[in-house]
Structure 1
Amino acid sequence: VALKTLIVIHRALREGDPTFREELLNFSQRARILQLSNFKDDSSPIGDLLVSLSFAYVSSAWDCSAWVRTYALFLEERLECFRILKYDIEAERLPRPDQGQDKGYSRTRELDSEELLTQLPALQQLLHRLIGCRPEGAAIGNYVIQYALALVLKESFKIYCAINDGIINLVDKFFEMPRHEAVNALDVYKRAGQQANSLSDFYEVCKGLELARNFQFPVLREPPQSFLATMEEYIREAPRVVSVPTEPL
């Protein structure tokens, strides 16, 4: 029941009226309605089962309960990301491509430095929660979990696209940033590389499932590690901002 309820909420966030998302966000600020950190599946009696079957059931229930908890964390982070970005990354409509472009791009491609350093960490945290939805053990074969996982998988494509376009924008602006912004930008750049590897592993698991048979997975591009040395050198040489007291002596 808990998982099916989360799926209904997820579909309403994706496909429903925007006012539902607004109301859910407002309510979640007063109470963590998606907080399922203590959730476990006690739906089936164990006492009537043989010991060997009991162990198998407990193991299966544990795997499925763990996945439900991570799914709830993803949905909670999805709301938080919307609060920061002020738009829904899944509902975003990419602009029509100009001549010579083979696809549209995310609005992160056109943000200024301050907006980038606010939105990219939020998107990366959302992707972190998404990658955490990788099923394990008995959860892999659970039909309802696979249905929910398909929704999560679909969202990963736009989230990755938004982060990737944001990183391209960040690199373009990096050498114009003051030192304190450049330090934060370097952390974002490093995390993008780490997450590209983790997302690749997540996709490999999903590709082996029936749910992903008709999905077109994006080509993952890890930000060049060779650029890190140049970024670090810029930070070392950039002048530190010295605060000047404004109060009269």
Structure 2
Amino acid sequence: MTAQGQTFNDRILAARHSIAGQGLAKAVCKATTEEIIGPKKKHLDYLLHCTNEPNVSIPTLANLLIERTQNPNWVVVFKSLITTHHLMCYGNERFTQYLASSSSNFQLSAFLDKGGVQAGPLRGYDMSPFIRRYANYMSEKSKSYRNVAFDFCKVKRGKDGGTLRQMTGEKLLKTLPHLQAQIDSLLEFDCSAQDLNNGVINACFMLLFRDLIRLFACYNDGIINLLEKYFEMHKKQAREALDIYKKFLLCMDRVGEFLKVAERFGIDKSEIPDLAKAPSSLLEALEAHLASLEGRKPGSGGTTPTGNASAFGAASGDVIDEKTAARLLQEEEAAMEKFRSTASASNPFAAPPAPEPEETPNILDLFGVPAPANSAPAPVSAAPAAAPLDFTSAASTKASDDLLQLSGNPFANMLNAAGSGQPVNYSPASAFNTSGSGFPSLPSQPGQFTNENAFNNIFGTNGTSATAVLQPQGSSNNTNKDKIITGDLDSSLANLASNLNFGNQKRGGLVPQPRGPPMAGLNAMQSQPMAHPFM
């Protein structure tokens, strides 16, 4: 294969298509030969004419070109992409519509020509990266047409009736990202003047240059329209518009580098537009307006006004400089100090709640014994620290005042004393003081029983004290002293029943009948015979 003229493979393939009567396939083969030059104009013009003919199948033409991109030779693949691009730019729109209907036309992300040396220093390995990038741009061009339903390179531009100049703000925010993606994929071709050393890549670069001029002019119209509507947008739209404008500033630098390569390549300066950068005050005004919509100070967010596009790129990547970070930390510390100073005054949970008095039930009320006079509960904080309990002050020697032994119950007295809020002096020795009998000393309270004589008349003790009647049989003062615990009601009733002896003692006079119902639990009394006073 040589750099001049068609190869033997090209001639064989063209003859095969001629014999088969496939004129369209022969024209595609002629435009995509292995010759290291750009596609010839006569072949491109013929294919352009075919796109406008109604009797020519556009899908057939497109599939023939896509099939040529699967060739292992880098020249054939490169020239197939150039021919397809040429038809998309200057051919009938039906051709672009068909390519946009499929998203898997140019699958060349892994293309690599491992062939030998071709025409001296030219290697397929060196051209393969440019083929992959070019195929990516062709796919993005078809995708943008599929998304917006028109070709950005063919729409009307300028302030008088430009397509993007007349768009509404909402539609503009949806359209400009697709235009940005197409321009970014074109700029990723990233070739230098030294790489433009053969006719194939030169033809590709010229098509890309013309596309870039049209795309950037359309992009500029869209940004102008966006800025005119920016101050009428709400917060969400304004944030999106500001991001688009930031990307536009970054894109301007990359477009400027591409145009410098085109100038060194030999393109006339009159065809290269002059890119004038927007003043930095415009960006600051846009950010200040967005900050006012968001209710924050200008520059206090993740964005920082900058004077040039390169420094602005760092802010667009959510990078905060040291001064902004220090200012934010100071503002945060000031806010925390203000919060701490006002927290104690405004926090309702800072002071502990007032303690509520707890009512202790009076267990003596179950048996008709009145509670102590001072029954009002005292505050918790006013209660004295653990004071000893003392029951000796209210003790009495009359057992008839409390037959149920409730006054001698240390647990009942402790509960009632705690409920009354008065300190109770407790002494273990005095709590169980039996005073020579089997029962503890009982307090004397007037009104609980009639008198001691009536008690003696009822129980027939004949002058014997009540404590002697209530003392267990066969027990002495020495053996039972300080040993009998009378804290349980059941045990007290049992002791009372076992110690009551209604023997056949002769009593003179009329003995009154017991008042009230008989006490339950006196089963032991039924086993002893009782003498009727009139018998």
Partner SS state of residue 101, structure 2:
helix
Distance 1:215 1:142 in 2: 24
The structure that is helix-richer by fraction is 1
CA apart distance, 1:207: 1.0
1:207 alignment partner in structure 2: 263
2:227 alignment partner in structure 1: 171
Distance 2:193 2:161 in 1: 37
Deviations 1:133-176 (A, max 9, x none): 23148632121011011011011111111111111111110011
Give yes or no for the alignment of 1:133 onto 2:198.
no
Distance 1:230 1:192 in 2: 16
Relative to 1, partners in 2 of residues 1:61 and 1:138: Cα closer, same or farther, differing over 3 Å? farther
Deviations 1:159-203 (A, max 9, x none): 111111111111110011111111110111011111111100111
Counterpart among 147, 150, 159 of residue 84 in structure 1: 147
**Number of residue pairs the alignment of both structures matches:** 219
Counterpart among 133, 144, 148 of residue 200 in structure 2: 144
Relative to 1, partners in 2 of residues 1:232 and 1:34: Cα closer, same or farther, differing over 3 Å? same
1:227 alignment partner in structure 2: 282
Whether the 8 Å CA contact 1:130–1:152 is kept in 2: the answer is yes
Higher relative contact order (CA 8 A, sep 6+): 1
Task: Give the alignment's TM-score, normalised by structure 2.
Answer: 0.39
Give yes or no for the alignment of 1:35 onto 2:107.
yes
Whether the 8 Å CA contact 2:114–2:125 is kept in 1: the answer is no
1:18 alignment partner in structure 2: 93
CA apart distance, 1:229: 1.7
1:117 alignment partner in structure 2: 173
Give the RMSD, CA atoms, in angstroms.
2.3
Distance 2:115 2:91 in 1: 30
Query: Higher Cα Rg: structure 1 or 2?
Result: 2
Task: Give the alignment's TM-score, normalised by structure 1.
Answer: 0.80
Deviations 1:68-120 (A, max 9, x none): 1111111111111112221112222447xxxxxxx756311111111111111
Distance 1:193 1:10 in 2: 28
Relative to 1, partners in 2 of residues 1:9 and 1:215: Cα closer, same or farther, differing over 3 Å? farther
Distance 1:168 1:224 in 2: 14
Distance 1:149 1:106 in 2: 27
Counterpart among 63, 74, 77 of residue 2 in structure 1: 77
Relative to 1, partners in 2 of residues 1:65 and 1:137: Cα closer, same or farther, differing over 3 Å? farther
Partner SS state of residue 112, structure 2:
coil
Partner SS state of residue 230, structure 1:
helix
Relative to 1, partners in 2 of residues 1:94 and 1:230: Cα closer, same or farther, differing over 3 Å? closer
Gaps in structure 1 of 5+ consecutive residues: 47-52, 96-102, 241-249
1:194 alignment partner in structure 2: 250
Between 1:15-24 and 1:212-221, the stretch displaced more is 212-221
Counterpart among 161, 167, 188 of residue 217 in structure 2: 161
Distance 1:137 1:202 in 2: 10
Whether the 8 Å CA contact 2:87–2:95 is kept in 1: the answer is yes
Distance 2:257 2:269 in 1: 19
